[in-house]
Structure 1
Amino acid sequence: MSSNISPDEKVINKIAEKLSDYTSPPAGGMNSEHVSKWIKQFAVEDRRFILDETLYLLNAGYLSESQYQRKIKAIARSENNVKFFRYAGFLDIQKKGSSQKELLKSLYKTVGIKFNIVTESSTQDEVNKFDTFVYIDDVSFSGEKAIKSLSNFIVKFNLRDIKINIYFFSSHTFSDYNIKRRLEYIFKDRNIFVHVKNGGMREVENRKSRSAQSGVFWPREYSVDTPEKFEECELYKGVFRDGYDSSDSFRNEASRDRFESILTKVGFNILLHRKTPSEVLKPLGFSTFDGLGFGGTTFTYRNCPNNVPLAFWWGDYEPTGAPALDCWYPLMKRNGYNEWYEL
Structure 2
Amino acid sequence: MATLNETADNLAAIIRDYRSGEVPEPDRNHVLKWVSQFAEAAQLPILTELCHVFGQTYLSKDKAKQFLSGVFQTADLAGQDQCAFWANANIMDIQLGGNSQSEVRDLFGTVLEEKCGFGLDGTGKAGDVFIYLDDGIFTGNRVRRDLENWLASAPAKAQVHVVAFAVHRGTYFAQNELGKAIRESGKDIAVKWWHMIHLEDRKTYTDKSDVLRPVSIPADPRVQAYVASMKYAPHLRAAGQVGGLGIFSSDTGRQLLETEFLKAGAKIREDSPLLGESQRPLGHMTLDTLGFGSTIVTFRNCPNNAPLALWAGDPWYPLFPRKTNSTTSFEKSFGSWD
TM-score grouping bracket, smaller chain normalisation:
0.7 to 0.9
C-alpha displacement at 1:237, in angstroms?
Answer: 4.7
Matched, 1:203 2:213: no
Give 5+ residue unaligned stretches, structure 2.
Answer: 328-338
- CA distance in 1 between counterparts of 2:158 and 2:221 reads 48
1:37-67 Cα distance to aligned partner (Å, 9 max, x none): 1111111111111111111111121111111
2:9 alignment partner in structure 1: 13
Q: Is the 8 A contact 1:89 1:116 kept in 2?
A: no
The residue type paired with residue 268 of structure 1 is: A
The equivalent position to 2:278 in structure 1, one of 280, 286, 300, is 280
The residue type paired with residue 167 of structure 1 is: V
- CA distance in 2 between counterparts of 1:181 and 1:6 reads 47
Q: Is the 8 A contact 1:184 1:192 kept in 2?
A: no
- CA distance in 2 between counterparts of 1:29 and 1:165 reads 34
> Mean Cα displacement is larger for which, 90-99 or 264-273?
90-99
- CA distance in 2 between counterparts of 1:113 and 1:29 reads 32
Aligned 1:1-343 pairs, distance under 5 A: 7-23=3-19, 29-78=25-74, 80-81=77-78, 82=82, 84-111=85-112, 112=116, 114=118, 130-155=127-152, 157=153, 159-175=155-171, 177-189=172-184, 190=186, 191-198=188-195, 200=196, 202-223=197-218, 225=220, 227=222, 229-234=225-230, 237-247=233-243, 248-275=246-273, 278-315=276-313, 325-326=314-315, 328-337=316-325
Question: TM-score scaled to structure 2, two decimals?
Answer: 0.83
- CA distance in 1 between counterparts of 2:180 and 2:320 reads 38
Secondary structure at 1:92 match in 2: coil
Secondary structure at 2:183 match in 1: coil
- CA distance in 2 between counterparts of 1:192 and 1:184 reads 9
The residue type paired with residue 92 of structure 1 is: D
Q: How many pairs were matched up?
A: 313
Q: Is the 8 A contact 1:26 1:34 kept in 2?
A: no
- CA distance in 1 between counterparts of 2:36 and 2:101 reads 36
Q: 1:273 to 1:168 in 2, by over 3 A?
A: same
Q: Is the 8 A contact 1:24 1:334 kept in 2?
A: no
The residue type paired with residue 41 of structure 2 is: E
The residue type paired with residue 76 of structure 1 is: F
C-alpha displacement at 1:140, in angstroms?
Answer: 0.8
Question: TM-score scaled to structure 1, two decimals?
Answer: 0.82
Give 5+ residue unaligned stretches, structure 1.
Answer: 119-125, 316-324
The residue type paired with residue 151 of structure 1 is: E
- CA distance in 1 between counterparts of 2:21 and 2:49 reads 21
- CA distance in 2 between counterparts of 1:108 and 1:140 reads 21
C-alpha displacement at 1:108, in angstroms?
Answer: 2.3
- CA distance in 2 between counterparts of 1:278 and 1:217 reads 20
Q: Is the 8 A contact 1:263 1:311 kept in 2?
A: yes
- CA distance in 1 between counterparts of 2:318 and 2:45 reads 18
Q: 1:91 to 1:36 in 2, by over 3 A?
A: same
Q: Is the 8 A contact 2:159 2:189 kept in 1?
A: yes
- CA distance in 2 between counterparts of 1:59 and 1:293 reads 23
Secondary structure at 1:42 match in 2: coil
Q: Is the 8 A contact 2:134 2:164 kept in 1?
A: yes
- CA distance in 1 between counterparts of 2:225 and 2:217 reads 19
C-alpha displacement at 1:73, in angstroms?
Answer: 2.6
